[in-house]
Structure 1
Amino acid sequence: MKDGKTLSATNASNIPLTHAEDFNFFPHLPPYTDPTAGLLSKLPPSWIPYAQLMRIDRPSGFYAFYFPYLIGLMYAACLAPEAPEPRTLLKVAGLLLPFNVILRGAACTWNDNVDQGFDRRVERCRHRPVARGAVSTSQAHIFTLAQLMLGYPFLALFPDPCTLHIQITVVLFFAYAFMKRITYYPQVILGFPFAWAILFCLAALEIDPLGDYTMSTLALFAANILWTITYDTIYAHQDIADDEKAGVKGLALRLKDSTKFVASILSVAQVSLLALCGLWAGFGAVYFVGTVGGVAAAMAYYIYGVDLKRPESCGAWFHDQFWIVGAGFIAGLTGEYGLKLLP
């Protein structure tokens, strides 16, 4: 981090966000150094800050972007009048992979730029490129725009309605970056752009989201929102002490010791919505065992297993739960799709 005045943690909240760059809020911690191992260590030094803005070295957040598209894709395949060929689904999933790398990169770059004043006050985030001064505010804005421009040509590979869904998704992600300033419920807002992937995938397979399956789609949409609220609130517990001093709002601070209780209620509602989705879509036992039962078991395992008092536990479970819960979401839908392929 660039040199700045040192400041005791007790006085951190008295410094305006616009002046935070003039202070080192963690003088007792070592300064930033470039990675010496892993993918980023192979890059030219001038590229490293931009790769960090995209979170290239941190796949966990990518799963948050990509898994809803896989869920939406399998759901759309189950609803299609004629089951799409497996290679068609693999092609769409393959196109969505680099597209989500870019989408996530743009969202994270924007978020880091907007949050730079907060990030300097949070131990885990203090070395993010904009916060430490490796990338200026203007450079980060230009990089955000460049990523959006890079992702735009992908939309030509999808039906026209997909463009509107992505535009809404981008607006929601950009709006989310400001929510922690004005509400303790930013995770609720965050759930919408992630869940919007379901509508995009329906459009990608040329299925009208507001057609015959409106209610089942809304149920799956809402279930994804509740999933996001749960895992992002648990994830935020690793920064709860610094967030409180920095003035960052969020459900982790609002709930504190009640997080597991509320997460359990949200998970029950999430599983109930998945059951309603299956009923309204006319899915069979494979869906109810695989998706409804799988997600119920996975969320129970996740909420019981995570230790909210240990930041490393919150971080590790954030990574693992995407595979555990995500597998549950996809299992039953994939089974339903497989049954459609049978003669």
Structure 2
Amino acid sequence: MAVTSSKTPLVPKKAEETQPDPFAHLPPYTDPTTGFLSWLPRSWIPYAQLMRLDRPAGLYAFYFPYLIGLMYAACIAPTAPKPLELLQLAAIYLPMNILLRGAACSWNDTVDQEFDRQVERCRHRPVARGAVSTTAAHIFTASLVAAIYPILTLFPEGCKLHMAISVVLFFIYALMKRVTYYPQVFLGFPFAWAIFFCAATLDVDPFGIYALPTSALFAANILWTIIYDTIYAHQDVKDDEKAGVKSMALRFRNNTKLLSATLAVAMVALLTLCGVWTGSGAPYYVGTVGGVAAAMTWYIYSVDLGNPQSCGAWFHDQFWIVGGALMAGFAAEYFCRVTDATVWQN
């Protein structure tokens, strides 16, 4: 795999093709001197950055839907799985999602390298700065996708199809910002597909008798993604506009909070329907429905869309408050189910 030094400048283009560097006044890239990446060999650093190993917040976007889907599936599975089984599955989901996220980010950085060079926050990404060649990045992406397969052999056969669909959807999403102001909608689908994967993990047919509640939870996850990624994209609206990158943050730049609040109401309504169609009890409505309503209200009201630091910080924090609420009701329902089954057995 061909690797260039992380400090090696890009190969100059022909004079007529050379574009002025819009960030020439800013400090140049230097390798990290603290944190996890500083311990790696220099040649490994660009590939760790392609996988975003130094930025765990993005991993939550991949991992939380799997945890939520797992708890949901545990509530509707024909036989309630034991807590240890759920913990084991959650543990297996983690490295799988690290690889999946790495492949998605590596692909995204490769196809977006020309855009990234025009966006201040993204200009030092490995492909954009010339630390990894386009060919090497493609090979690395393919290697990460291939590395997911051995993990998939631990799950039922149907999970392979759901993972394949997720990968394809992530790869399509990376191209959407060129053709539509709604790439966040497309991003929501591969993240929400985790619900189907987790149902299949516990041998629940997501399109069978639980098709309606599963679809409601799937749609709620799509809306969640649209909300947080649109808010997150406000970090780059000025640079994105100059670079020609489309996003819902640009399309709704003056009405993002109204849009987010509307989508949050729809999200809560879908979660309510999910509970009705699964016959969930009070713990679900208090934990998930009420919890998400409160968390979304806090998130949307508190974030400062004009402050990139606020958008970035809330991107991290909202996974714990919104994602935690989503899981809380399902977890409570699951433990009620397990407890009831234990009482009856005794």
Q: Shared fold (TM-score greater than 0.5)?
A: yes
Q: How far apart are the structure 1 equivalents of 2:300 and 2:109?
A: 28
- TM-score computed with the length of structure 2 as normaliser: 0.94
Distance 2:209 2:155 in 1: 22
SS in 2 for 1:47: helix
Aligned equivalent of 1:201: 198
Match of 2:68 in 1: 71
Question: Using a 3 Å threshold, how does the CA distance of structure 1 residues 23 and 132 change in structure 2: closer, same or farther?
Answer: farther
Q: Deviations over 1:248-281 (max 9, x none)?
A: 0000000001000000000000000000000011
Q: Which residue among 78, 81, 93 is the counterpart of 1:81?
A: 78
Measure the CA separation in 2 of the matches of 1:153 and 1:82. 27
Aligned to 2:144: 147
Q: Partner amino acid for 2:108?
A: N
The CA distance in 2 between the partners of 1:186 and 1:197, in whole Å, is: 19
Contact 1:237 1:311 survives alignment (8 Å): yes
1:92 aligns with 2:84: no
- CA contact 1:5–1:23 (8 Å) conserved in 2: no
Query: Which stretches in structure 1 are left out of the alignment for 5+ residues?
Result: 7-15
How far 1:4 sits from its partner (Å)?
7.7
Aligned length: 332
Distance 2:140 2:327 in 1: 34
CA RMSD of aligned residues (A): 1.6
Cα contact 1:3–1:24 (8 A) shared by 2: no
Calculate the TM-score normalised by the size of structure 1.
0.95
Q: How far 1:3 moved relative to its partner?
A: 5.7
Q: Report the Cα distance in structure 2 between the residues aligned to 1:3 and 1:172, rounded to whole angstroms.
A: 31
Deviation at 1:24, TM superposition (A): 2.1
CA distance in 2, matches of 1:286, 1:30: 52
Q: 2:41 aligns with which of 44, 54, 68?
A: 44
Mapped pair 1:308 → 2:274: no
Cα deviation digits, residues 18-50 of structure 1 (max 9, x gap)? x57x64221110100000000000000000000
Counterpart residue number, 2:291 = 294
1:150 Cα deviation from its structure 2 partner: 1.0
Q: Which has the higher helix share?
A: 1
Separation (CA, whole Å) in 2 of partners of 1:65 and 1:228: 10
Match of 2:186 among 189, 193, 196: 189
Partner residue in 1 for 2:126: 129
Whether the aligned pair in 1 keeps the contact of 2:10 and 2:130 (CA below 8 Å) is: no
C-alpha distance in structure 1 between counterparts of 2:67 and 2:20, whole Å: 43
Sequence identity percentage: 66
Superposed, which structure 2 residues align to 1:221-236 within 5 Å?
Answer: 221-236=218-233
Q: Output one character per residue of 1:190-215: Cα deviation in whole Å (capped at 9) or x when no partner.
A: 00000000000000000001111110
Q: Is the 8 A contact 2:113 2:128 kept in 1?
A: yes
2:157 corresponding residue in structure 1: 160
